[in-house]
A and B are shown apart, each in its own frame.
Chain A
Amino acid sequence: METELQSFIEKYDLLGCIQCGRCTGGCPVTVRTNLNVRRFVYDSLDEDILEELANLPEIWDCTACSTCAVRCPKGLKPLEVLIGLRGILVEGGRVQPTVRDALESVFREGNPWDKPRAARCDWMKDLDVRIAEPGEAVENLIFVCCTIVYDPKLQVIAQNLVRILNKAGVDFAFIGEDETCCGSEVHNLGEEGLFEMLVEDNTELLNSFNAKRMVTISPHCYTAFKNEHPDLKMEVVHYTQLVGELLEDKKLELTREVPQRIVFHDPCFLGKQNHVFDEPRYILGNIPGAELVEFDRCRERSLCCEGGGGKMWVETESTKERLSDTRVKDARALEAGILAVACPFCELTLDDSVKAKGFEEEMRVAEILEILGEAIED
């Protein structure tokens, strides 16, 4: 039986909540904003005040890190309540212009950055790469990510992946201009309709390729394809899993020293949400000359950088220290030369903080693929 509109209470299983407080207790942004996600789970039981709740500015402070969902003892996903409330605003056309523009851009150009679709492959201009053809067999189909393809600072991530896979003799291909936003941030911004459309279209597009598995570069795409595309007919992995495999099988050798102390920041969408903790560490541990150290708050207890959940388009109004600032200060205290990340959003937020804190002399933020680029010979 299809019900037309599931009630808020049913959709988010609000009656399952025992008000234990683990969600809010774990929520990383509570140290700097008014967000109390448990209160939203509780207050939403009164469906008459949903509008009112949707108008509270803190619903935009959620980073979709999912700590609340991971910790909930009753299997609820408290963040989805906030996203549902955002949806009410999206539906009524009452969102900030930045959010509106990002969503419109996804609708028109397949990316949230207001960039033309035709420019999607510019980053690979000088590279000799294969674009997948429907039906043609390919071992690894690479999904690059809107943020990486268009941000000139981040394009090196994808370019390095090409270098590495070529060096390791891996069979791989890209999707080309048809590659379309994974929808992760679209969902987190509350545009459910557009998200559903993306899931449908992307499933059809991706299934048209004869690929054994899809390799994602951003953990946000990874989560979206792995967990939100039930009809996708291929395995989805994060590139750290593939590269980890290549190193283990000795198909890839790291020969150049990177004599640095490196600390790895677990992306929420990779670690907490998908339990990929070991592969990034395995890769970094294999870099000659590098010394790997750990944050106290690492792995399951890692601190969110506030990069996800639509935060690229909505600023949190708070005078308190940003979590990314806390994070780079912790990295600095460990005397790390490189703050390694495995997510484009983490790279952007943490890089900003390194600059804001004036740590550029002592340390840099680098995506694992950037570091790998330094560790291999061409």
Chain B
Amino acid sequence: MNSKPKIGVYICHCGINVAKTVDVDEVTEFSSQLPYVKLARNYSYMCSDPGQNLIKDDIANEGLNRVVVASCSPRMHEPTFRKTLIEAGINPFFLEMANIREHCSWVHQDKEEATEKAKKLVAASVSKARLLEPLEEKEVEVEPASLVIGGGIAGIQAALDIANAGFKVYMVEKTPSIGGKMAQLDKTFPTLDCSACILTPKMVDVDAHPNIELLTYSQVEEISGYVGNFDVKVRKKARYVDMEKCTGCGLCAEECRLADRIPSEFDAGVGKRSGIYLPFPQAVPAKFTIDPERCLFLTRGKCGKSPKCVDVCTAEAIDFEQKDEFVEFKVGAVIVATGYDVFDASRKPEYGYDNYDNVLTGLEMERLVSASGPTGGSIALGEGEEAYVPKDIAFIKCVGSRDESVGNEYCSRVCCMYTAKLAHLVKEKIPEANVRIYYMDVRAFGKGFEEFYDRVRREGIRYIRGNPSEIFKRNGRLVVKVEDTLTATPLEDEVDLVVLAVGLEPRKDSREIIDLLRLSQSGDRFYLEAHPKLAPVDTATDGVFVAGCAQGPKDIPDSVAQAKGAASSALGLLASGRVKVEAQVSVVDEATCRGCAYCVEICPYGAIEMVNVNRMGHEVQVAQVNEVLCKGCGACVAGCFSGSIQQRSFKDRQILPQIAVLGVLR
């Protein structure tokens, strides 16, 4: 197959992206003179059908056996042109791309110099193309199951879609119940549907679905393997309650000695819970959990004469002897849907969140206005005799978002709308209240958002354009220190209640997942998708997908849409049943390997192991690459002390001549 090279060179104009700064005719003429080049052509869009047909026809008619495409980055269209080669009947690894767009036309202005550079890049690629070897792409089988990490709305939707398509799903949720942040919300913008009403049925479906195995109060401990074949180990934390026996009656929580003494996570600290608890009435599973950090018996070994929960549980479900359990299983795909944290308002001390009880966060306000919340939906502040209904209420937007001073440059995307929603709900409950929203921009970009913003304003909610700078107290009332920027008037507005529209942040424990799955983070510290436009649910790790706020702030509609996207990508993998693995992998020369195992340490994918071989009668250790795990990153090649590792398609003898042509090496 490795007959004398006959190379075809194709220069792409990329519309004017390349042609504007690179003289494509000149590069074509130049290329046609290069050794082993049979012909050179240029075309407006090589990636288009006619463009690809040019290549196919030339292979058929001119007997080309190597192709160089000078166009955009191989990240963009290498797969396209490899397919072209396959269709034309030659090995797809006889393709070499010269990046004359990102590496040349886009970054230069001088046409003459850019043209010279493009020539060099093409010449370099041609010199490598002639040395290319055919490679074979292996396929492996895919385990027809998937893991969904995180049981918020994104995880729930992804799990249901995959399960409904007939594949097994393991859902791992860290907390005692699925539901995520959406379960904490009262109504949802812009339609004002009751959050629980639309979420609870889905939660129940997850629990009841024959294809879904729900592991709550659990976390993934280990993931090894590769696309199609991940081995997963999950820790099921001890609940100290027998899930089989617990009927969810709740007597234990009522009787617990710590009843109503522990801030409830679900109620964002606005309400209290017991040492044994169900996070919220609609929790799934409807089973109680003992908080090991608070429970008197677990922390001190003693709870009165005997633990009250044990005394009252007629089902005898309390089990203080329970230990963490481990579950292991295999999946073909993983979806990360771990969501977000709300911004910690203490990090903006100028707003006095730590100082004043009547400065609340948006999430706290959600619980306060919720009919099923700790106050039954009444917005009374203060306790007992001192209780009062706030009359002047201020919302402050962009708290912790669009703010370099706290390291968050991004917009959190939901606060504008949830502020409008909460303001509406407050006005509904306290019609005489004077509700105002301090803002710097109103971003009402989604479907129905602008209409909702309109409606809320017309309900009498004042929008004041200025981002407050400080909150302090004067004569017992809160003072919002702000400038009305539309009239350039500095104000000190006195109010009874301030609600901080806190933004969305990456979870504090994001690292756990990064370490497990080798994910990357974008500049905003959320998990990075493979491509911001064209691969928004994929990650750099094959077979691992991301959905919901784990990838960046978004509202429920977008979280659900992305979850469906992630599910369909995972399903594509599971349904095809087979997956191609990287062919341009590293290979160890057993004859020269010194067995130092340095490469084992270097490999970020754990793809290298040491094996025993017989070398002239001696048993020696050498490195061996697991070709299925190898991603072809080349790190080991660069690190090997004895030069015993070479990467297919990037062997020294292939790339050194290429570099030499560029004039870097001689």
Contact = CB atoms under 8 A, between A and B. Distances in A.
A19 B485 contact: yes
Contact of B485 (A20, A71, A73, A299): A20
Contacts of A301: 349-350, 352, 470-472
B404 A25 contact: no
Contact-size category for A: 20 to 34
A24 B467 contact: no
Contacts of A74: 404
A298 to B, nearest CB: 9
Interface stretch (A30-38, A103-111, A143-151, A251-259): A30-38
A364 interface: no
A123 B113 CA distance: 70
A25 B440 contact: no
Nearest to B406: A73
Contacts of B349: 299-301
B482 A25 contact: yes
B482 A21 contact: yes
Q: Per DSSP, are chain A's interface residues mostly helix, strand or loop, or mixed? A: helix
A73 B492 CA distance: 20
A287 interface: no
B469 interface: yes
A27 B472 CA distance: 14
Contact of B481 (A19, A20, A25, A39): A25
Nearest to B464: A21
Interface in B347-391: 349-350, 352, 355
- Report which residue of B471, B488, B490, B492 has the largest number of chain A beta carbons within 10 angstroms of its beta carbon: B490
A30 B491 CA distance: 9
B466 A20 contact: yes
Contacts of A20: 398, 440, 466-467, 485
Interface in A327-353: none
Interface residues of B, number: 28
A22 B490 contact: no
Contact of B490 (A36, A73, A300): A36
Contacts of A26: 350, 469-470, 481
Contact of A21 (B403, B405, B467, B472): B467
A18 interface: yes
Given A25-B490, A70-B405, A297 B469 contact: no
Interface string B467-503: 1111111000000011111001010100000000000
A133 B523 CA distance: 50
A313 B488 CA distance: 28
A300 B403 CA distance: 17
Nearest to B400: A73
A296 B469 contact: no
A178 B405 CA distance: 39
A72 interface: yes
A47 B547 CA distance: 48
B350 A71 contact: yes
B462 interface: no
B476 to A, nearest CB: 10
B83 to A, nearest CB: 45
B594 interface: no
Contacts of B355: 296
Contacts of B405: 70-73, 75
Nearest to A18: B440
A329 B349 CA distance: 24
A30 B482 CA distance: 10
B465 interface: yes
A357 B441 CA distance: 43
B488 A22 contact: no
A116 to B, nearest CB: 43
Interface in A53-92: 67, 70-75
A23 interface: yes
Interface in B391-407: 398, 402-405
A233 B472 CA distance: 40
A74 B492 CA distance: 23
B488 A39 contact: yes
B467 to A, nearest CB: 4
A47 to B, nearest CB: 21
B404 A75 contact: yes
A75 B402 CA distance: 11
A73 B403 contact: yes
B402 A25 contact: no
Contacts of A31: 490, 492
B473 A25 contact: no
A21 B483 contact: yes
B466 A25 contact: yes
Given A31-B490, A75-B404, A25 B470 contact: yes
Contacts of A70: 405
B498 to A, nearest CB: 13
B350 A300 contact: yes
B483 A36 contact: yes
A27 B466 contact: no
Contacts of B490: 24-25, 27, 30-31, 36
Contacts of A23: 469
A25 B441 CA distance: 16
A22 B472 contact: no
Contacts of A24: 469, 483, 485, 488, 490
B398 A73 contact: yes
Given A36-B490, A71-B350, A22 B404 contact: no
A23 B488 CA distance: 12
Contacts of B440: 18-21
A20 B441 CA distance: 8
B472 A297 contact: yes
A74 B409 CA distance: 8
Nearest to B349: A300
B438 to A, nearest CB: 9
B467 A73 contact: yes
A67 B469 contact: yes
B404 A71 contact: no
A333 to B, nearest CB: 11
A135 B355 CA distance: 49
B485 to A, nearest CB: 4
B387 to A, nearest CB: 22
A30 to B, nearest CB: 4
A24 B492 CA distance: 12
A21 B466 CA distance: 5
B398 A25 contact: no
B352 A25 contact: no
Contacts of B485: 19-21, 24, 38
Interface in A291-346: 296-297, 299-301
Interface in B323-356: 349-350, 352, 355
A12 to B, nearest CB: 16
A70 B355 CA distance: 20
Given A22-B469, A73-B404, A296-B473, 20 more contacts: A18-B402, A19-B485, A20-B485, A21-B484, A24-B490, A25-B466, A26-B481, A67-B470, A71-B350, A71-B469, A73-B405, A73-B467, A74-B404, A75-B405, A297-B472, A300-B349, A300-B350, A301-B352, A301-B470, A301-B471
28 contacts: A18-B441, A19-B485, A20-B398, A21-B466, A21-B467, A21-B482, A22-B468, A24-B485, A24-B488, A24-B490, A25-B466, A25-B469, A25-B483, A25-B490, A26-B470, A27-B490, A30-B490, A31-B490, A36-B488, A39-B488, A71-B405, A73-B398, A73-B402, A73-B467, A74-B404, A296-B472, A297-B472, A300-B350
What are the nearest 6 A-B pairs in CB distance? A26-B469, A25-B469, A30-B490, A21-B466, A21-B483, A73-B403
